[in-house]
Amino acid sequence: MADHVHTTPEDEHDNAYAGLLVNDAHWAFGTDFEDPLAGVDTTIPEGVDAPTLAAYALMLGDDALVMSHRISEWTSNAPDLEDDIALSNISLDLLGQARLLLARAAKADESVVPRLPDGSPAPPEDALAFFREAHDFRNVRLAELVNGDFAEATVRVLLFSVWRLATFERLRSSRDHVLAAVAAKGVKELAYHRDYSARWFVTLAQGTDESRRRLLAALDELWPLWPELFDTHPVEAAAAESGVGVDPASVREAAEGVLDQVLAAADVPRPEASRRAGVLGRTGRDGMHGEPLSRMLAEMQSVARAHPRGQW
Amino acid sequence: MGMRLMSRTTERARRVAERVTDPELPMLTLADLGVLRDVDVVADSHVVVDITPTYSGCPAMATMRDDLVRELQGAGFDRVEVRVSLDPAWTTDWITPEGRAALAAAGISPPGPAPSTSGPIPLTLLPTARQVRCPQCDSPATELVSEFGSTACKAQYRCTSCLEPFDHVKEI
């Protein structure tokens, strides 16, 4: 790096960057990929089926990854600087959760990780994020929708974080050490995401006619995907049965209770729209997604796929 | 290597690791921040360091790890292993009294006690109310400007007595 910057003693005091180059070693970060679970007890608890644990971790990881990417699209586009930073921070929290959960899936069952060309430095969690097709993703459909206006982001983050926080509150007592640790950390982050979006929900509902109209429109649009969050997929049932996972149906009452508090504070009635059907009964957890996910992944994965041996 | 010698070596490795500073709060060491959890010399010149991330997606983690490796290798420990300890999760309650003093001296308001996160977490629809004193003039008359300051882990406040803006490390 120092080779590219030439300074002479005379002009050094005019160069704001000169001081930064005294010890280059300090800036040589982010150059290696290390196992994010190094030092964490990844033993599979007794009586737990490894492929079930991996499939369950992929579901939670994909929810976080896809939602994170959608929220990251708000960066530099939010209505003001504070909300830009808030949304970017929410996106970053979810990306951190996704990394650990995808790494956990790979550690539990290597066979879920796509095979990359020899010499690729991509760690398993990156292989899972960047080299799977849309139908291999197990995220709920709420996460993948194309972004709408700020009211839509508010409602989506609210529904997602109310549900995920209720899930993580229980996941803290998972028999799997990694899932329990991710959940213990995640509840602090999700509590912020939930309260942030709940405050905006109330503010927009009680704001101007236009802000309330937009909020109600967003709620009507997203409401049909709310029931899907509480469906129990056979993998989730098996994970819950063996004490590593949480049955989504079991958190419905807690999540609905919190959502009702927000709706009451905002003076917004519960929408009546019925649930969006799956395709032949299959939904996000089965790998059945809408076209928006394919388009999102095409952009998100393009650089990694073009340079599978790339280092940066 | 005898036990006595080993513990002296561990002590030396610990002192080196404790000098490493946080990349975003350079007035604070990783030990003061509570990120450095354990330092152990497990074999001849082989050190194992345990760190706990502040936030799941904290972009400074790789830098912290590289800084620890560089400093310990510079002190003659050829093999440095940095492990991530996720449980228990990091909390601002782990910032030491020295760390809090260093923050205040740098004009940053240190965090108050972290909220409890056991059991179901109640919904909060009002902005977080904190008792924040101005790190410049110690006045309690302060107001929140933004929940995010110079980094995502800090909120920005303004003192209504001396009018100085300042960062406050948020409680988690």
CA dihedral B68, B74, B75, B80 (to 10 degrees): 50
Distance from CA of B162 to the nearest CA of A (A): 24
Distance from CA of A193 to the nearest CA of B (A): 11
pLDDT band at A13 (very low <50, low <70, confident <90, very high): low
Lowest mean pLDDT among A25-34, A132-141, A220-229, A287-296: A25-34
Positions of E strands within A137-261: none
A267 vs A20, which has greater pLDDT? Answer: A267
How many CA atoms lie within 13 Å of A29's alpha carbon, on the beta-carbon side? 14
Candidate from A25-39, A182-196, B16-30, B83-97 with smallest mean pLDDT: A25-39
Across chain A, mean pLDDT equals 90
pLDDT in tens, A62-71: 999 999 999 9
pLDDT band of residue A36 (cuts 50, 70, 90) is confident
pLDDT for A38 beyond 80? no
Backbone angles phi, psi at B43, to 5 degrees: -155, 175
Q: Are A169 and B82 a contacting pair at CB < 8 A? A: no
What is the nearest CA distance from B103 to chain A, expressed in angstroms?
22
A170 touches chain B (CB under 8 A): no
Interface test with B, best of A20, A24, A32, A34 (most B CBs within 10 A): A34
Strand ordering across the sheet containing B142-146:
B108-109, B165-169, B154-159, B142-146
Does the structure show a pLDDT above 60 at A28?
Answer: no
Residue A180 near chain B (CB below 8 Å) = yes
Least confident of A15-19, A58-62, A95-99, B121-125: A15-19
Is the Cβ pair A191, B121 closer than 8 Å? yes
The beta-carbon neighbor of B56 closest among A180, A185, A194 is A185
pLDDT digit string, tens, across residues A104-145: 999 999 999 999 988 888 899 999 999 999 999 999 999 999
Interface test with B, best of A42, A185, A199 (most B CBs within 10 A): A185
Name the 3-class secondary structure at B162: coil
Q: Where are the alpha helices (DSSP H) in A206-308?
A: 209-222, 234-241, 252-266, 291-306
The whole-number pLDDT of residue B2 equals 52
> For A50-266+287-306, which CATH class?
mainly alpha
Q: Which residues of chain B have pLDDT under 50?
A: 1
Structural class in CATH, domain B3-84 = alpha beta
Residue A14: band (very low, low, confident or very high) from pLDDT cuts 50, 70, 90? low
Kindly determine whether residue A38 and residue B50, on different chains, have CB atoms separated by under 8 Å.
Answer: no
Q: Do the interacting molecules here have an ipTM over 0.90?
A: no
The segment(s) of chain B belonging to CATH 3.30.300.130 are 3-84
Please list every residue in chain B whose beta carbon sits closer than 8 Å to the beta carbon of residue A43: none
A-B C-beta contacts closer than 8 Å: 113
Residues A124, A106 contacting (CB under 8 angstroms): yes
Q: Do A82 and B147 touch (CB under 8 A)?
A: yes
- Least Cα distance to A185 among A107, A96, A102 occurs for A96
Query: In the prediction, which pLDDT does A19 show?
Result: 47
Residue A31 is predicted with a pLDDT of: 37
